[in-house]
């Protein structure tokens, strides 16, 4: 029995730390690898299933040339990490919080379809997050083949299925006109204008905070969306379709002019929502805007409200004022019309301007 445990390894529960560990002997030395916590694996059987890749690795022929996932990730970050900062943040989050703690000491060949699928199934994250993690593991496999660490072959992550991957964890929230009016009354500048810009143009918060006064064409009533800012890092917009010049309704133009007169930083190269704390060098931060939204949502009685809810509201309002689907796609700046509705069509500029003006009429308070 003891010999079998030495050869095949064994799963042991550490009562002190509440963790499952895989124990084996290698070259006469006792080795240990963390499998997960009791919250992740409720019983020994579940932990044993999760440790299957480790058992397989014990019996694989040792080539001595395969790098560990940890060392592979180090090179991946140097050679193949996406340039977009927000994408880097997501990749590093999945790597540091999930992939490296579980698989860091494995060779890439230890990440096979069945053990990875069982591991993903037990992760306490949403189905969408599991899809992202699987995609990153797949990218590591491709990277190992690209480097020539392993022979070119079918990526085993193609066999990993994730239940509920196409379902939303939560229904997106859209505000009614009355809810938005109650909400915006609770906001002070510059957050009030930020909310109006987001809901009248359907901008992502990263795009809104990335606006500069030079992006506003006052003469032609237009606004150019050219950059985004994530965690105070300036970068490109999400896709090539996200960068667009948009019509600005006369009333919305007046809102921007009013804020331009009030701000300490009104020059063409200044951020529209410049932070006084940063002496205008950066815009106000997303966490601060989010906090202001939360507090205003509570005071107005509409409850918790994320910044992206205004983009969802914008799409709903476009629908409510009878905007053609093809126009909605252009105004939402979606790369694929299926993201908007799954209907195709064309659009002309005056239709976009008319749709924008109708949404502005909904957003701006009625004169008493």
Alpha carbon distance 22, 29 (integer Å): 14
Half-sphere exposure of 117 (CA within 13 A, CB side): 12
pLDDT score at 305: 87
List phi, psi (to 5°) of 19: -125, 155
The answer to whether the CB of 109 falls within 8 A of the CB of 99 is: no
Cis peptide before 61 (omega within 30 of 0): no
pLDDT score at 341: 43
Query: What's the mean pLDDT when you consider all of the chain?
Result: 83
Half-sphere exposure of 53 (CA within 13 A, CB side): 22
Instruction: Answer with the residue of higher pLDDT: 245 or 269.
Output: 269
CB atoms < 10 A from the CB of 147, how many? 15
pLDDT category, 61, cuts 50, 70, 90?
Answer: very low
Question: In this prediction, what percent of the chain has a pLDDT beyond 70?
Answer: 84
Q: Is the pTM higher than 0.75?
A: no
pLDDT score at 351: 61
Alpha carbon distance 53, 115 (integer Å): 6
pLDDT category, 285, cuts 50, 70, 90?
Answer: very high
Taken in order 37, 41, 45, 47, the sign of the CA dihedral is negative
Selecting from 3.40.50.1980, 1.10.150.130, 3.30.2320.80, 3.40.50.720, what CATH number does the domain 65-170 have? 1.10.150.130
pLDDT score at 53: 66
On the question of pLDDT at 264 being above 80, the answer is: yes
List phi, psi (to 5°) of 21: -130, 145
1-59: CATH topology: 1.20.5
pLDDT score at 73: 94
Integer angstrom CA distances of residue 278 from 272, 273, 284: 14, 11, 8
Summarised one tens digit per residue, pLDDT across range 210-242 is 999 999 999 999 999 888 888 888 887 666 656
pLDDT score at 232: 83
Mean pLDDT is lowest, of 65-69, 130-134, 150-154, 285-289, for 65-69
Alpha carbon distance 34, 18 (integer Å): 11
Q: Where in the chain is CATH 1.10.150.130?
A: 65-170
pLDDT category, 50, cuts 50, 70, 90?
Answer: confident
Selecting from 1.10.490.10, 1.10.443.10, 3.30.2270.10, 3.90.850.10, what CATH number does the domain 177-363 have? 1.10.443.10
């Amino acid at each position: 029995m003891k010999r079998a445990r030495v050869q095949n390894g064994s799963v042991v529960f550490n009562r002190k730390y509440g963790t499952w560990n895989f124990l084996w002997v290698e070259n006469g030395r006792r080795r240990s690898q963390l499998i997960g916590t009791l919250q992740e694996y409720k019983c020994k059987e579940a932990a044993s299933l999760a440790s299957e890749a480790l058992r397989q690795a014990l019996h694989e022929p040792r080539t001595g040339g395969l790098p560990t996932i940890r060392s592979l990730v180090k090179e991946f970050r140097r050679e193949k990490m996406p340039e977009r900062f927000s994408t880097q943040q997501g990749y590093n989050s999945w790597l540091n919080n999930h992939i490296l703690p579980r698989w860091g000491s494995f060779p890439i060949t230890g990440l096979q379809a069945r053990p990875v699928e069982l591991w993903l199934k037990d992760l306490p994250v949403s189905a969408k997050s599991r899809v992202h993690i699987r995609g990153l593991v797949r990218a590591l496999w491709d990277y190992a083949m690209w480097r020539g660490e392993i022979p070119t072959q079918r990526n085993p992550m193609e066999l990993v299925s994730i239940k509920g991957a196409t379902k939303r964890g939560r229904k997106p929230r859209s505000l009614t006109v009355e809810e938005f009016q109650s909400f915006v009354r609770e906001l002070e500048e510059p957050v009030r204008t930020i909310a109006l810009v987001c809901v009248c143009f359907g901008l992502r918060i990263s795009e809104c905070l990335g606006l500069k006064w030079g992006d506003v064409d006052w003469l032609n009533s237009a606004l150019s969306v050219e950059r985004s800012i994530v965690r105070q890092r300036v970068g490109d917009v999400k896709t090539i379709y996200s960068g667009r010049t948009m019509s600005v309704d006369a009333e919305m133009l007046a809102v921007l002019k009013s804020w331009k007169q009030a701000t300490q930083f009104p020059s063409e190269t200044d951020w529209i929502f410049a932070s006084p704390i940063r002496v205008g060098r950066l815009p106000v931060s997303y966490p601060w805007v989010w906090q202001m939204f939360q507090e205003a949502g509570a005071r107005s009685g509409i409850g918790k409200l994320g910044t992206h809810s205004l983009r969802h509201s914008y799409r709903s309002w476009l629908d409510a004022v009878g905007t053609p689907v093809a126009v909605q796609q252009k105004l939402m700046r979606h790369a694929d019309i299926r993201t908007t509705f799954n209907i195709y069509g064309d659009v002309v500029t005056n239709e976009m301007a008319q749709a924008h003006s109708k949404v502005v009429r909904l957003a701006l308070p009625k004169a008493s």
